[in-house]
Structure 1
């Protein structure tokens, strides 16, 4: 895999660090890079492109790269107003047997992988409801960004992550998404929001904010036979998943804890996943998920 990174901001630099010898060239029209445009990169020098640019620039770069038979990893979210554009890109990818992956690295978080395993084993029986809170204190940093502080703000940024996490753990049968609350405390775009949705008859509440002065991630799932609780992400601190098995008819539950050391493994794991995706003979794109997330976020005003 020989990779060109388009966009050398925070995400692009993270990707370059992980790629090592797989990194080929950098592209950025405003920052220090090997080229100003992806069209200037020697065509035979690379086979894969990582797109780490603002949302409005992603489609044209993706289209160009697929036309010239390059595999693509694009930073989330990949939201397009016109569904026909997804179909055009999918047609190009399928025709040339190319991988197209929208990167949601949180699904490779060790605690979330453990929760998925526990749910698959039906460790807490029938799931009644779920709540996730994800907060950081980046409101002023976002305010300084010309392209981040606009449109849906935290809803498309963190919200798309949370929806992907729910689809990863509970399945893709997402219905009834509803905006319960949205605020612009310090930003032009939303910097706090609460959404509700339903997946496979599971009631889910998602709260996200850029105005949490301590990085916070809490995930609580209540079921008929117990509950599962997760606190923090490994990029911030040690992360713990707690399984509480219900005592009948009532009483203190049996508790089992799973701990994961501080240190973010999600980027390397995602890169390994993408490499395997390239080698697959079929089902090498994530367009269907992109369409689902895009369509549901369109319903939020």
Structure 2
């Protein structure tokens, strides 16, 4: 069965992180894209693939042949567009962040449940190659029990001109932290407590551009860090366990291959990690120290569409659960509100939204 897909938004998110993956999948067909303005030159290659562009949102929402709509617009529009899609009987995939507040998220989840529809965020970085390597290292059992896990998004971008954005929801936590938080939650669920240090270090007038967040679980903690002032990069991931250490340098290559090299998913070498960036697993076994070099698994952002297809067509659980959606948003929302630094106890209980 082929599922027809529509898009709201026709910017880099749509053209870089979504369409290349959908165009190589036979069971998902992009039928229409809604854009506020005509972009004739950009549209032409996609029109040749049979995609229709519309400039009236109702024309997209009223198309009964479209089952799923992906929202790739500015963050502050996600809630309103998602609500409109659900009210027109569409399943919805929302680019991150899913919403700014837990209240908005719960309203959307309840509306979807009342109409037997699926809605979830596009948490594509669950399918980053570096994160898949972390899962592989944990599942090997060679690390023993985790004691501390550290995850980074670091850059060296010292210039920070005044930003037109002033909202607490428009900084690094909601922009990049959402990915790191979701990765942690996908592995371990709700933390017991959270420590936050969130600030703007380059230009105090701008939204946050630095965070250090610690999620405390029973027996271990998961550290999430992001900064624009890191000249010499940290490991992307570092795991300390009772029996050993896993260390992985270098970020997933999909974005660079798509943006800088013009490569496409399915092409030879797409997304492959260089051997120099393979993770190293150092552990004790029978009193002896051993070292394993772990070839990095191949990442694939399109996998989230495969899993979502199975949820819509075959009734399987959706890949990002309601509880995970609410957990990620509470961690972000409580972090950016109020004074920093701080330590908080997790509060959201499962409301049974299904």
**What TM-score does the superposition give when structure 2 sets the normalisation length?**
0.73
In structure 2, relative to structure 1, the CA distance for the partners of 1:81 and 1:87 (3 Å cut) is closer
SS in 2 for 1:246: strand
> Which of 161, 171, 175 does residue 192 from structure 2 map onto?
175
CA contact (8 A) 1:183 1:190 kept: yes
In structure 2, distance between residues paired with 1:273 and 1:139 = 39
Q: Hey, what does 2:96 align to over in structure 1? A: 76
Partner of 2:221: 203
- Give the whole-Å Cα distance in 2 for the aligned partners of 1:206 and 1:175: 15
CA distance in 2, matches of 1:63, 1:108: 27
Deviations 1:254-278 (A, max 9, x none): 11011238xx742222222222222
Structure 1, residues 89-108: CA drift from partner, whole Å, max 9, x if none? Answer: 22332344322221111111
Aligned residue pair count: 293
TM-score, normalised to structure 1, is 0.84
How far apart are the structure 1 equivalents of 2:235 and 2:35? 33
SS in 2 for 1:117: helix
Q: 2:292 aligns with which of 244, 253, 256?
A: 256
After the TM superposition, which of the residue ranges 96-105 and 178-187 deviates more from structure 2? 178-187
Pick closer, same or farther for the CA change 1:110–1:195 going to 2, 3 Å: same
CA drift at 1:200: 3.2
Give the drift of 1:6: 0.9
TM-aligned CA distance change 1:138 to 1:48, over 3 Å: farther
Deviations along 1:20-73, whole A, 9 cap, x unmatched? 271111112246272234223242241110111122111111111112221111
C-alpha RMSD of the superposition: 2.9
Correspondence list, 1:126-137, <5 A: 126-137=145-156
1:19 — aligned with what? 22
Q: Could you list the runs of 5+ residues in structure 1 that have no partner in the other structure? A: none
What is the alpha-carbon distance in structure 2 between the residues aligned to residue 195 and residue 97 of structure 1? 35
1:2 touches 1:24 (CA, 8 Å); kept in 2?
yes
Aligned to 2:72: 52
**Are 2:239 and 2:245, in contact at CA under 8 Å, matched by a contact in 1?**
yes
Change (3 A) 1:160 1:139: farther
Indicate whether 1:245 and 2:296 are aligned. Answer: no
